Structure 1
Amino acid sequence: MKKIGLILMTVVLVTMSACSKKQETKNIIEPQLEQITSVCKLATLECYYHNVAKSKKSAGSGIEHIGESSRRFWLEYSGKIKLGVDMSKGSMEINDDVVTVRMPKAEIISIDPDLENMSEVIASKDNSFINKNKIKSNDVSKSVEAAEEAILESVQEDDSLFIQASDNAKRLIENYINQIGELTGKQYEIKFETIEE
């Protein structure tokens, strides 16, 4: 009798645990701007450059500079420029299966000259016998600063770099939205609009 009772009790417990199986709830996942804007500045293009900073150090004036001569000098260095889109200024709207992404134009995110690995300063000969016109670190810094401004102007005039950075950002956002669509079994139509600042 005890065996029959134990068997019945086991059957009842198994039956009850099978009946109380939790139903899985399916979360609806939609593309969210927060996921995209959490990156804020989406760096989508990295360009490397090699630059030559050229300058002239004029002879000083006054008694302490008697005999100094002007000198030309230059140095080489490399660096990289990152372009991308600041998505914190953007917005996204979802209507049914149409996702409209409004994003600003691409911009320069950073310029990083590699000053640790720059060449030695090459300078014209100092022909002065009395007073040497030494090239100092602040002379080099001013020269590199001027060269960086020239690089910045050059990049700003090259529309193709900004177009490529924008296109890369669009592809990244498109891939994100399409992956969400694959997870949910939904196919989104994606439209991009450029925000004029």
Structure 2
Amino acid sequence: MMRVHKLAKRTVLILCTLVLTSCGVPEKSKDVLEASQMRAIAELAVMECYYNNVAKFEEEDVSGFLFWKKDKRFWIEYNGVVELGIDASKLMIEVNNTDVKIYLPAAKILDHEVDPKSLTEDAFIVEDGSAKVTAQDESIAFAEAEQNMLDTAMQDTSLMKSARDRVKMLLEGYVMNLGKYLNIEYKIEWIDLPAESDSIDSIVPPVETP
């Protein structure tokens, strides 16, 4: 069974130092809301999902002969983390006076890692009577488990939505707080950019077999 724990990675603290030469609404509010600043915020809006996973490896008739052949069966239990967010470089904004359009990319997997501390001797469980397990077997099982972890994260629409909503919340808070400071009532329109079609294979390279 795979267990997932969601945790916000960072708390974003935005300090804005502004020098105002006049009161009221600036002539060009687009000079205040900068895409580079908003991209920096989006880069910090990363959500971590923690997984506890068990990978099972099975291979039939790998040793012996005739009726005395042995199968190979073992399990690997490990912990992993997947980072979700958006590609901040694709975030775009358009400002027309007080109207703000924010073009927001879909959420995606930004990074992943298996906790090496979880891969102890006790994490590898070989079934009684199993054929001998090789290091290559363990590598293949580990890669398949890692792939399964990423597939699970990619297919979890609620997780992806939560990651994207976190970005929207931080960006909206930045725009509204800045508007309040400048006495500008910004109106935000969110425009969804299409999801990327990159394959999960580009994230996890295949394991070469001899």
Aligned length: 166
- The answer to whether the Cα contact below 8 Å between 1:71 and 1:125 also exists between their aligned partners in 2 is no
Aligned to 2:154, which of 153, 156, 165?
A: 156
Q: Distance in 2 between matches of 1:92 and 1:69?
A: 62
**Structure 1 42/106 Cα, relative in aligned 2: closer, same or farther at 3 Å?**
farther
Q: Which amino acid aligns with 2:168?
A: K
Structure number with greater Rg is 1
How far off is 1:148 after superposition? 1.5
Equivalent position of 1:182 in the other structure? 180
3-state SS of 2:86 partner: strand
- The answer to whether the Cα contact below 8 Å between 1:40 and 1:88 also exists between their aligned partners in 2 is no
Q: Distance in 2 between matches of 1:70 and 1:25?
A: 79
**Structure 1 35/162 Cα, relative in aligned 2: closer, same or farther at 3 Å?**
same
Q: How many percent identity over aligned positions? A: 31
Query: In angstroms, what is the RMSD of aligned CA positions?
Result: 2.7
3-state SS of 1:102 partner: strand
3-state SS of 1:135 partner: coil
Q: Which amino acid aligns with 1:37?
A: R
**Pairing of 1:100-111 with structure 2 (within 5 A):** 100-111=101-112
Q: Distance in 1 between matches of 2:145 and 2:155?
A: 16
Structure 2 gap segments, 5+ residues each: 1-19, 196-210
Tell me the alpha carbon deviations over residues 105-164 of structure 1, each in whole angstroms, 9 at most, x when there is no partner. Answer: 11111121113222421102347xxxxx43233321210110111122222222111111
Equivalent position of 1:143 in the other structure? 141
Structure 1 gap segments, 5+ residues each: 1-23, 128-132
How far off is 1:189 after superposition? 1.0
Q: Which amino acid aligns with 1:158?
A: D
Q: Distance in 2 between matches of 1:72 and 1:177?
A: 55
How far off is 1:61 after superposition? 6.7
- Pair 1:32 & 2:34 matched: yes
**Pairing of 1:17-96 with structure 2 (within 5 A):** 25-26=21-22, 30-38=32-40, 41-58=43-60, 60=62, 69-96=70-97
TM-score (norm 2): 0.69
Equivalent position of 2:118 in the other structure? 117
Q: Distance in 2 between matches of 1:71 and 1:150?
A: 21
Tell me the alpha carbon deviations over residues 2-41 of structure 1, each in whole angstroms, 9 at most, x when there is no partner. Answer: xxxxxxxxxxxxxxxxxxxxxx835956111111224664
Q: Distance in 2 between matches of 1:196 and 1:159?
A: 15
TM-score (norm 1): 0.73
